[in-house]
Structure 1
């Protein structure tokens, strides 16, 4: 029968679509049957996405369905048990329907379930887990697995100190339960990690790299196929310090020596281009180093291999390049007519970089500077297959996968093997070369690279006889100019204990201790005759400063510079109530400055702000601290050695000396080296800070 034009046509209802395995889950497990059926810890939730076909004359939201679930199993007497459930509401097509199966389903029994959709007029076929029409299945496992046994050959349980930092060990987990699928473990309460059993009910092994010495503990529990977990096994062990280097040469031998004594490994033969007695990096245990002249005679070698480059190894040392116009190798080891590894400087990219290469892989990073000390270390970890480079205690570049050379030739200091002979000869200083047959962990690398700060000046500013405020350890005094004076609390004009009418005027206490320096803002300052610290190298300066009310122009607190500019200058800016650190790029009129700003935390309450500056030349970084907190930080690579004295209360300007401070200064400290955050927090207290903290 044909409908008249414009008349509506009622379409026949299409039945809902049959749910398939992809639409179904048992709890969060995919629908499966037979050997793939999931095991669950308790009666699960059956979930299904149900769909109704979109009919041509109905909007999608008009297609609503409900779900009908069915589950069955055999009880202990072999009688089939069946349960059904119908969703109480209809939902739009594509919605998820769920049925929490009833409790009381016996454990260890195969349970089947299926579902179909109902649109109110027709029902879909029952769901199928496979092409044969099978239902979803599951088995309830209500028994926790047995706790695992834990064992390790390298790190046995008990009070025996074993192996050491940087040396891998294997831990084996094994539960007697035959349904264990994995083990979850953590070391000393750290993050939990799960490892799969090597087969259902089997053991698992992990590799462990200790990074600190002392007592340690691993906690492990087993996981079965239903998601149940065992009780936790706790296993305690003790880790020794890392193994000593297999080769170590301080290179601090007497001038004129033709060999370098070894703390570990064989004595190294020195070429005639090696001169002992060179300068050493300050703040280290080194007293001198070897200077290599960059010629074919500038090398040292023990004439023997020291590390196995096919296994885990690390090499490092203190180096100071004298020039950066060509590739230079600090340490290497021969591998036939090529080096098995190299550690040094590369210039192929146009800009010099530190470099560690092994097996055709090269890791590069950091920026060497001629005449500047750096601690460099290269590491190849055979467990991970990665090569890493560390510069001044921090990782540089990006770790890279490496296939190391396996040939073992002679260890070299100051040169690398090439097809035509040795090349890439080092020009500059090298000291404390070490080679390890293990991982050198980051904390060890940081210790090897640490330079303990050295105090260069401490002025308590409590007295100034003859206009000279003494340095605490007998160093250069601060010379007070007109407008600068040391304030001490005056004695009371009368004694209330003996004079009942006495009302002494209160006098403010000094900022710290028994006195402080007062500056008038009109020329008053104090200064040393010469420089206190090498501003090209790492340094720390600090002071307690109180700014007088009413000032409106920037005022310098501390500075040290040259004839025209300041290498560093700390000033207070009243308009923004902040401190600024200005690092000059050179001693020339109008030289560029790098400036960072740190806001004050509010009023100093008359007790002053504790201001400090840290220049870390190893990391090319400057940081401004106020009251022990880092307020600003930036990279800085333009340091220079200033020749002028330390200035308290003034700095260089375009018109000469200026920016005179109106206020008070106390506890001026100057150090070579970068103080730690802990040490910085101790500045300004009147006591000496802990330099090794």
Structure 2
């Protein structure tokens, strides 16, 4: 039945019933129902939070990035409030859409929110009554206290550089079980090698409250897949509160269990990486439980790879373990491989911090090229030796450097060095001082590359078709294509220029810097791992040696990870 418009204009309670008539007689009435007409908007709600307080409209600096806060919405005396709509933004105006139901008609509601940014922000909230009427929007000012990334709520940090000391402020030194090798080579410095049979590390007692937001991270290098292997966990009474692990199928995973009982209860909230783990390769793992959002997240090498809904209902009160887990009260799933730089936080690590962890830059090779004589140059990091070949020769004019590439008499020279210890399918940074004396006509010129059977995985170069400095990332070992990033800076020939190329796996960005300043960026290059030699003075394309440089090169640095813009800006000053 449709009620004609305007018939029920007055607010109030209406009763209705109906009967059927054939013209002679009628049925008895049925229904005898009632409904209310309500055009009155509810009063604006009252918003409060002890985690992110507000004093008479003025936000008090509190909390921090990744630190979940609870906010309460009060119906402010309106008895028929059904739900609330809310949002948080840095903007001055917003139309909130996220819904949270009141605790009964006219009741309060509570939401959890985890800031991903510091500084001033605004929560927008309105009440909605059972008739769908909406209140005015309340603006609740928030000021997320600024702090150093990766410092706030750090509950434990074990660098594992030959010892088991905690480098956070909590002095939670680890205890070794079995015979772990404490002097293994790490991603950065030392690490601990575990045998997958009896060796593990632990801290006696809980470190994290697993019923609320927390994050756990580590560098891991697995020796082989087979059976569950745990990088990091925390014991309950009978089962782990969480496990950061390698699965039987060779996937990285994060799992939490519904109950602290044998078998973990009915719910096993496991999220798995979509790509299999690479064996014997350093991989950064980050597991996040966001209690405010009710989500589990897994990051691999700084990139969010999987998430799912989950809400923890219990806290694990036992030991924190590195290299093992708990199941049915026993220590199981021992890790076979190497673990480095373990960190645990009692808060959410946000995406920008995940990138910082995974992009931690480590200098893998540094060739100053300042020897000035002979046919070799030395890597100041590893002691490896690079060889001058062909017409490559020293010059000692304004700077000591190596002349490489094409020469006037038709010769060709280059410097080759051992692979610098980076994976070109992950994040890396390459930097060098270069001088291009003459680009010539119709010719690309490459100063620094890594060799490949058919293609160089990257080239730091001058590109003739755009007449710019360029950082090129090829797209596959057998793919005749690349993503190249031309600089915004105009090249200067016959003068020294400092070039830096960055491949940022976590952000899927490729960037070029000129004389320490950001110049250009493109997105979408995946990259591939080339394990050839470091080459100064040329590159490889379709199986041919190409793009000979025509000038000099000096002070070449290669890093795993990504240098910050500030650090890149300092590189030209260090040469």
Q: TM-score, normalised by structure 1?
A: 0.59
Q: Which range moves more in the overlay, 545-554 or 321-330?
A: 545-554
Distance in 2 (CA, whole Å) between partners of 1:206 and 1:305 is 27
Q: Deviations over 1:484-539 (max 9, x none)?
A: 787989xxxxxxxxxxxxxxxxxxxxxx9x99978438755554463372243643
Q: Deviations over 1:636-685 (max 9, x none)?
A: 45332x4x453213558857xx425264566774331243684698599x
Equivalent residue of 1:428, what SS?
Answer: strand
Verify: 1:291 aligned to 2:291, yes or no: no
Verify: 1:560 aligned to 2:462, yes or no: no
1:154 aligned residue (35, 51, 66): 51
Equivalent residue of 1:431, what SS?
Answer: strand
Q: Is contact 1:253–1:260 with CA below 8 Å preserved after alignment?
A: no
Using the TM superposition, give the Cα deviation of residue 156 of structure 1 relative to its aligned residue in structure 2, in angstroms. Answer: 2.1
Who is 2:535 aligned against?
646
Unaligned runs of 5+ in 2: 15-29, 258-267
1:281 aligned residue (179, 187, 197): 187
Using the TM superposition, give the Cα deviation of residue 169 of structure 1 relative to its aligned residue in structure 2, in angstroms. Answer: 1.9
Verify: 1:388 aligned to 2:275, yes or no: no
Verify: 1:210 aligned to 2:107, yes or no: no
Who is 1:507 aligned against?
none
Who is 1:21 aligned against?
2
Change (3 A) 1:622 1:393: closer
Unaligned runs of 5+ in 1: 1-19, 38-109, 111-130, 490-511, 586-590
Change (3 A) 1:326 1:528: farther
Who is 1:270 aligned against?
176
User: How does 1:611-626 map onto structure 2 within 5 Å?
Assistant: 613-615=501-503, 623=510, 625=512
Distance in 1 (CA, whole Å) between partners of 2:331 and 2:415 is 50
Using the TM superposition, give the Cα deviation of residue 353 of structure 1 relative to its aligned residue in structure 2, in angstroms. Answer: 1.6
Change (3 A) 1:526 1:146: farther
Change (3 A) 1:614 1:229: same
Distance in 2 (CA, whole Å) between partners of 1:268 and 1:534 is 30
Q: Deviations over 1:281-313 (max 9, x none)?
A: 23xxxx4222212222x1122343443444443
User: How does 1:18-167 map onto structure 2 within 5 Å?
Assistant: 21=2, 149-158=46-55, 161-164=61-64, 165-167=66-68
Change (3 A) 1:654 1:458: closer
Q: Is contact 1:621–1:633 with CA below 8 Å preserved after alignment?
A: yes
User: How does 1:410-425 map onto structure 2 within 5 Å?
Assistant: 410-419=319-328, 421-425=330-334
Q: Deviations over 1:401-454 (max 9, x none)?
A: 366666644432212234594332112222333334433333333333341353
Change (3 A) 1:246 1:552: closer
Equivalent residue of 2:353, what SS?
Answer: helix
User: How does 1:368-407 map onto structure 2 within 5 Å?
Assistant: 368-401=277-310
Distance in 1 (CA, whole Å) between partners of 2:419 and 2:529 is 19
Q: Deviations over 1:224-274 (max 9, x none)?
A: 9897865865545454757524444443354xx8x9898537543211221
- Larger RCO, structures 1/2 (Cα 8 Å, 6+ apart): 2
Q: Deviations over 1:152-200 (max 9, x none)?
A: 2222225755444423222435556789885666443275415578488
Distance in 2 (CA, whole Å) between partners of 1:432 and 1:369 is 19
Verify: 1:441 aligned to 2:378, yes or no: no
Change (3 A) 1:385 1:301: same
Verify: 1:362 aligned to 2:267, yes or no: no
Distance in 2 (CA, whole Å) between partners of 1:232 and 1:336 is 45
Change (3 A) 1:244 1:184: closer
Q: Deviations over 1:84-132 (max 9, x none)?
A: xxxxxxxxxxxxxxxxxxxxxxxxxx9xxxxxxxxxxxxxxxxxxxx99
Distance in 2 (CA, whole Å) between partners of 1:484 and 1:320 is 41
Using the TM superposition, give the Cα deviation of residue 471 of structure 1 relative to its aligned residue in structure 2, in angstroms. Answer: 10
2:482 aligned residue (596, 611, 621): 596
Matched residues, number: 521
Using the TM superposition, give the Cα deviation of residue 396 of structure 1 relative to its aligned residue in structure 2, in angstroms. Answer: 1.8
**Structure whose alpha-carbon radius of gyration is higher:** 1
Verify: 1:318 aligned to 2:318, yes or no: no
Q: Is contact 2:174–2:202 with CA below 8 Å preserved after alignment?
A: yes
Who is 1:673 aligned against?
560
User: How does 1:422-433 map onto structure 2 within 5 Å?
Assistant: 422-433=331-342
Change (3 A) 1:196 1:602: closer
Who is 1:16 aligned against?
none
Distance in 1 (CA, whole Å) between partners of 2:431 and 2:510 is 12
Using the TM superposition, give the Cα deviation of residue 330 of structure 1 relative to its aligned residue in structure 2, in angstroms. Answer: 0.8
Verify: 1:193 aligned to 2:83, yes or no: no
CA RMSD of aligned residues (A): 5.4
Distance in 2 (CA, whole Å) between partners of 1:269 and 1:515 is 51
Q: Is contact 2:509–2:525 with CA below 8 Å preserved after alignment?
A: yes
Q: Is contact 1:223–1:230 with CA below 8 Å preserved after alignment?
A: no
Change (3 A) 1:477 1:322: closer
1:339 aligned residue (225, 235, 240): 240
Q: Is contact 1:319–1:330 with CA below 8 Å preserved after alignment?
A: yes
Distance in 2 (CA, whole Å) between partners of 1:214 and 1:624 is 28
Using the TM superposition, give the Cα deviation of residue 345 of structure 1 relative to its aligned residue in structure 2, in angstroms. Answer: 1.0
Change (3 A) 1:221 1:372: same
Distance in 2 (CA, whole Å) between partners of 1:556 and 1:606 is 15
Q: TM-score, normalised by structure 2?
A: 0.69
Q: Deviations over 1:50-93 (max 9, x none)?
A: xxxxxxxxxxxxxxxxxxxxxxxxxxxxxxxxxxxxxxxxxxxx
Using the TM superposition, give the Cα deviation of residue 356 of structure 1 relative to its aligned residue in structure 2, in angstroms. Answer: 0.6
